Amino acid sequence: MRYSQLLLPTLKETPAEAEVVSHKLLLRAGFIRKITSGVYSYLPLGLAAVRKVERIVREEMNNAGAQEVLLPMVQPADLWIESGRWEKYGPELLRFKDRHQRESCLGPTHEEVITDLVRREVHSYRGLPLNLYQIQTKFRDEIRPRFGLMRGREFIMKDGYSFDASEAEAGKTYETMHYAYHRIFSRCGLKFRAVEADTGTIGGSFSHEFMVLADTGEDTLVICRKCTYAANMEKATAMEPAAPSEEVALLPLAKKETPGKRKVEAVTEFLGITPRELVKTMVYLADGKPVAVLVRGDHEVQPVKLKNLLGAIDVELADDKQVFDATGVPTGYLGPVGLTIPVVADREVARMRNFVVGANEKNFHCLNANLGRDFEVERVADLRMVTAEDRCPLCGAELELTRGIEVGHIFKLGTNYSEALNARFLDNEGQERPFIMGCYGIGVSRTVAAAIEQNHDKDGIIFPLPIAPFQVVLLNLSPNDEAITAAAEGLYTALAKEGIEVLLDDRDERPGSKFKDADLIGIPYRVTVGKSFAQEGLVEIRKRATGETVSLPLAQVAAELGARIRAELA
RNA sequence: CGGGGCGUAGCGCAGCCUGGUUAGCGCGCCUGCCUUGGGAGCAGGAGGUCGGAGGUUCGAAUCCUCUCGCCCCGACCA
């Protein structure tokens, strides 16, 4: 491709709308342009990067035995009503009516459609296992789209769905997909981790997220420094707390005035204790009903764990007014002793003795509260966020908290959808059984953004070779010089013959601009034909990632690059 | 949905508070000269319904009302 013919509008200045580095660079490098909030057009280079990721995804999915299909983006409400998600899915589901006033929606995901297809076409175990995937534009009407391709409303996704005859088969399929995902992200040249995850609104029993490691990631991962344990914050647990020490004598409960001290920090400072000796009482509304949650003063409630414990569809923290309405106590002085709403406790609280709690009275706290003596709770469970001080639940080693970008998510769905949509097959004994399903997503456009978050410097993008829009950018520094131009053109042809994807910068621009643009768009190898060719017959090869440079005679350049690129992609 | 901010040339911004020639600046773009290994220089030029509608006024980018769009923060720890 010739730069002079390419739509590649690079920007010197960063558009004001961009916050994170991948968004800034995608705009500056002329890869994408915004059309409206959370919706982008892909320009040639942006699309080229997307296609690279897609190609790797296709190869690995096909290798893993999956088949590609293409499902509709516009879906009838009927199917969603049948699965129950027309009610459950919230405002993220963009709904509209067609000209016949039929309710429809834009597909944010395709469990309903695929299950409908399979229930119509597959009726026997002989047709199983079946693993279908597609690469398609999805639409989710996010509350707040942001960060460019990282959290758009419209985005390109690979979604796959598997159908198996038994749990054991489904488990194998899950493992196959897990492995395929490892291959995909490895081949994309990304540093990533697979972590245990909560299943969220998709539902199901078991899931892993594939996270690209980057400080700017929106998610926090918990990784063991020693063993293989890795989980996201919603799922991560700490090593079980030690059993309560019976030797600590229970002291008498005592009320103490704590005027104006509401926050943990203020209360503990006032009483001269640490947050580890206090239990805070948080009120949540679980599907609208108040429930109090007890956690140690230095811990935080993990709402997803609470939601799962209660079996609620939605939990949210109550605001001050809701707390007062439910308990008659102003926030800051709440405690479990004498509280009338249901109370659950984090398991850490269960081993504490003689701790401080709110007195359920303005400006008062209680000292020496004890679970079992002064109050009871309905459930004790792991309900808190893991912290960097916690230990690995598997091996007891130190945990590390790090940031990541979710680029893939795989789920064991079980029979959630096949039951809801009555999708059944006959097994080898003539028994009618629901399909055991799994679903497997990859954010293709987000993977491109994540790759940039992970691989960039002050000058621009540094693409991993496998997903770079071009492998080589060839700079003709003097398009008006016959000898140099002839050399560059010849090299362009030679590189193409080597099977190398090359962008020839044949623009009548000054060298500085060409260097700057080459750095910005992040092409892995830069080849320069200029002054040193005119003087010594040498052409420079520079690796974008390392800046390492070699000068070679013109005739050797194509072979050298071909060898390097083949070696890197092998 | 709550709070804040912004819409002026393709991009980044000034002007608005305190209304008044022809609405500016930098970058980019076009023409010419010049220059050619890290976003040069000189000269000339094109490009604006000042987001939209209504209002106040002799007069509105500027003041008022409504509206549309975009961005940021929050919606999770008392």
Confidence of residue A237 (pLDDT cuts 50, 70, 90): confident
* A530 CB neighbours strand B below 7 A: yes
Percent of chain A with pLDDT over 90: 66
Q: Are residues A284 and A333 in the same domain?
A: yes
* A260 CB neighbours strand B below 7 A: no
CATH number at A303 reads: 3.90.960.10
pLDDT for A261 beyond 90: no
Tell me the two tokens of residue A484: 């140099």
Q: What angle do CA A556, A559, A562 make, to 5 degrees?
A: 145
Which nucleotide's C1' is closest to A480 (Cα)?
Answer: B36
* A248 CB neighbours strand B below 7 A: no
Check: CB of residue A326 under 8 Å from CB of residue A219.
no
Model confidence pLDDT, tens digit, residues A529-556: 999 999 999 999 999 999 999 999 999 9
Rounded CA separation A169/A388 (Å): 38
pLDDT for A204 beyond 70: no
Q: Please tell me the predicted confidence (pLDDT) of residue A128.
A: 95
Q: Please tell me the predicted confidence (pLDDT) of residue A144.
A: 83
Q: Are residues A377 and A422 in the same domain?
A: no
Name the domain boundary from A364, A381, A398. A381
Rounded CA separation A443/A147 (Å): 14
Rounded CA separation A340/A328 (Å): 10
pLDDT for A146 beyond 90: no
Tell me the two tokens of residue A73: 């983006």
Q: What's the whole-number mean pLDDT along residues A358-374?
A: 91
CATH number at A475 reads: 3.40.50.800
pLDDT for A260 beyond 90: no
Which nucleotide's C1' is closest to A264 (Cα)?
Answer: B78
Q: Whose CA is closest to A71, among A181, A163, A141, A157?
A: A157
Q: What's the whole-number mean pLDDT along residues A150-160?
A: 93
Check: CB of residue A50 under 8 Å from CB of residue A469.
no
Q: Are residues A289 and A356 in the same domain?
A: yes
Residue A311 lies in a domain: yes
What letter represents residue A192's amino acid? F
Residue A441 lies in a domain: yes
Q: Are residues A436 and A301 in the same domain?
A: no
Q: Are residues A33 and A180 in the same domain?
A: yes
Q: Are residues A369 and A502 in the same domain?
A: no
Rounded CA separation A35/A32 (Å): 10
Confidence of residue A247 (pLDDT cuts 50, 70, 90): confident
ipTM exceeding 0.85?
yes
Query: Using alpha carbons only, how large is chain A's radius of gyration in Å?
Result: 29
Which nucleotide's C1' is closest to A475 (Cα)?
Answer: B37
Could you tell me how far CA A233 lies from the centroid of its own chain? 12
Q: pTM of the entire structure?
A: 0.90
CA dihedral of residues A213, A409, A136, A70 (deg, nearest 10)? 150
Q: Give, in Å, how far the C1' of B21 lies from the CA of A36.
A: 39
What mean pLDDT is reported for chain A?
Answer: 91
Q: What's the whole-number mean pLDDT along residues A98-116?
A: 91
Tell me the two tokens of residue A23: 């968004």
Q: How many domains does chain A have?
A: 3
Specify the pairing of strand A343-346 against strand A379-381.
parallel
Q: Whose CA is closest to A513, among A21, A12, A4?
A: A12
Check: CB of residue A264 under 8 Å from CB of residue A297.
yes
Confidence of residue A200 (pLDDT cuts 50, 70, 90): low
Residues 6+ apart with CB under 8 A from A116: A79, A421, A423
Q: Please tell me the predicted confidence (pLDDT) of residue A35.
A: 86
Cis peptide before A342 (omega within 30 of 0): no
Q: Please tell me the predicted confidence (pLDDT) of residue A205.
A: 62
* A477 CB neighbours strand B below 7 A: yes
Q: Please tell me the predicted confidence (pLDDT) of residue A303.
A: 87
* A264 CB neighbours strand B below 7 A: yes
* A569 CB neighbours strand B below 7 A: no
Q: Are residues A432 and A474 in the same domain?
A: no
Q: Which of residues 536-555 of A touch strand B (CB under 7 A)?
A: 540, 542
Residue A75 lies in a domain: yes
* A16 CB neighbours strand B below 7 A: yes
What letter represents residue A540's amino acid? E
Q: Are residues A292 and A330 in the same domain?
A: yes
Which segment, A91-100, A283-292, A380-389, A469-478, is predicted with the most confidence on average? A469-478
What proportions of chain A, in percent to the nearest 5, are helix, strand and coil? 30, 30, 35
Q: What's the whole-number mean pLDDT along residues A48-58?
A: 97
Could you tell me how far CA A443 lies from the centroid of its own chain? 8
Residue A207 gets which letter from DSSP?
E
pLDDT for A246 beyond 80: no
Domain housing A502: 470-569
Name the domain boundary from A453, A482, A517. A453
The count of other CB atoms within 10 Å of the CB of residue A433 is 15
* A327 CB neighbours strand B below 7 A: no
Q: Please tell me the predicted confidence (pLDDT) of residue A168.
A: 94
